[in-house]
Amino acid sequence: MIIRKNKKIIVAMSGGVDSSVTAWILKNKKYEVEGIFMKNWEEDDTEEYCNSAKDLFDAINVCKKLNIYLHKINLSEEYWETVFKDFLNQHKQGKTPNPDILCNKEIKFKCLFNYAIQELKANYFATGHYARIKRKNKQYFLLKGIDVKKDQTYFLYTLNDIQLEKILFPLGDLKKKEVRRIAEKINLEVANKKDSTGICFIEPKKIKKFLNRYLDDKKGDIVTTSGKIIGEHNGLFYYTLGQRKGLRIGGIKGQYNIPWYVVDKKIKKNILVVAQGSYNKHLMSIGLIAKNIHWINSKNKIIYPFSCMIKTRYHQKDINCSIEYLNNTHIKIIFQNPVPAVTPGQSVVLYLSEVCMGGGIIESRLPLL
């Protein structure tokens, strides 16, 4: 994307290497660059889970080094109301939501984006996401990042082409190792800082313990698909379809000692259902039903049925499939080959080659059986 000189760009600073290098790249191109750090959570007695204080410290130091002004904004209330409440509610229903996608939609590219453009009078809003934006025929398209392993379009499918006109992803044409190399070259202290993952502010390893503060963990039976009780779970919200670790199921007499996987959660009966093998028939799906469908380029007419590639989770290889229309908010997706661990509550994202078309929430899976 070609940007005129002397344009004001606000960079979302997370205190990590990606946003830091993003700010440096834009500053190095002589744009008027300022940073903004958003606080999503009031630490109080949750300091053992939350890293925002350390991230703010790092963001301040990076901005000092780059000689750019850092704005600060507290979006904790907005995060609680639009992201975290939904996150808890989905878990109570036995689903596995992706809060980072909702955070991007409601917080980063809505609240923060609007503040940068409207209040701070920025011409553009930039982040350190690994994705690209392309303009063609007066439309803006979201494309996968060059670094296949780091491409983050899966988390960005709720954007629209009007927003894309004001958004910049400077890292989309770079690979992660190049970004770290740049950070080391300009002596940024965050050059080798570990990537942040999980629920915007909580490490994945701590998320279950954190959720226990808000959800009642009611123990129950772990049963096989034939109904045999073989263990005890600590609370259904701790588990997700396809999960292997943490089940604490040892070898069973008369059974092949291969790993057990979660294949279902019976919410009303408080039962966790498991089966052996990562590709067992109970875990496989031939398709799914998706709701809340969002198209990035909504002006382009969708002609059903059509074929494309999808991802049902981040870092997954593209899946060949066909898309069928159900109604204005729902579509049916049929896989070319059965897929394991399709998880209600997660997002399914659609692609045509390197272009991200949009996506939706997995409402239900179509089991192989």
Say which range, 237-251, 261-275, 306-320, has the weakest mean pLDDT.
237-251
Domain ranges in the chain are 8-207, 216-276, 284-367
Output the CATH code of domain 8-207: 3.40.50.620
Percentage of the chain beyond pLDDT 70 is 91
Active-site residues, by number, are: 103, 200
**pLDDT tens per residue across span 149-204:** 999 999 999 999 999 999 999 999 999 999 999 999 999 999 988 886 555 555 55
Q: Can you give the C-alpha Rg of the chain in angstroms?
A: 22
The pLDDT assigned to 44 comes to 58
Q: Is 16 annotated as a binding residue?
A: yes
Q: Is 342 annotated as a binding residue?
A: no
What is the three-class DSSP state of 29? coil
Give CA–CA dist 39/213, Å, rounded.
20
* pLDDT bucket at 237, cuts 50 / 70 / 90: confident
Let me know if domain 284-367 sits in CATH 2.40.30.10. Answer: yes
Q: Is 17 annotated as a binding residue?
A: yes
Pairs from 221-228 (Cβ < 8 Å, separation ≥ 24) = 221/270, 221/271, 221/272, 222/247, 222/249, 222/271, 222/272, 222/273, 222/274, 223/271, 223/272, 223/273, 223/274, 224/273, 224/274, 224/275, 225/263, 225/273, 225/274, 225/275, 225/282
The pLDDT assigned to 77 comes to 93
The pLDDT assigned to 1 comes to 58
The pLDDT assigned to 224 comes to 94
At the fourth CATH level, the homologous superfamily of domain 216-276 is: Adenine nucleotide alpha hydrolases-like domains (2.30.30.280)
Q: Retrieve residue 224's tokens.
A: 């096989």
Is the pTM of the predicted complex or chain greater than 0.85? yes
Name the amino acid, one letter, at 95.
K
Q: Is 284 annotated as a binding residue?
A: no
**pLDDT tens per residue across span 339-367:** 999 999 999 999 999 999 999 999 999 99
Question: Got the DSSP string for 44-71?
Answer: GGGTTTB-HHHHHHHHHHHHHHHT--EE
**pLDDT tens per residue across span 282-333:** 999 999 999 999 999 988 889 999 999 999 999 999 999 999 999 989 999 9
What is the three-class DSSP state of 194? coil
Q: Does residue 305 have a cis peptide bond before it, meaning omega lies within 30 degrees of 0?
A: yes
Query: What kind and span of H or E run contains 288?
Result: strand 284-295
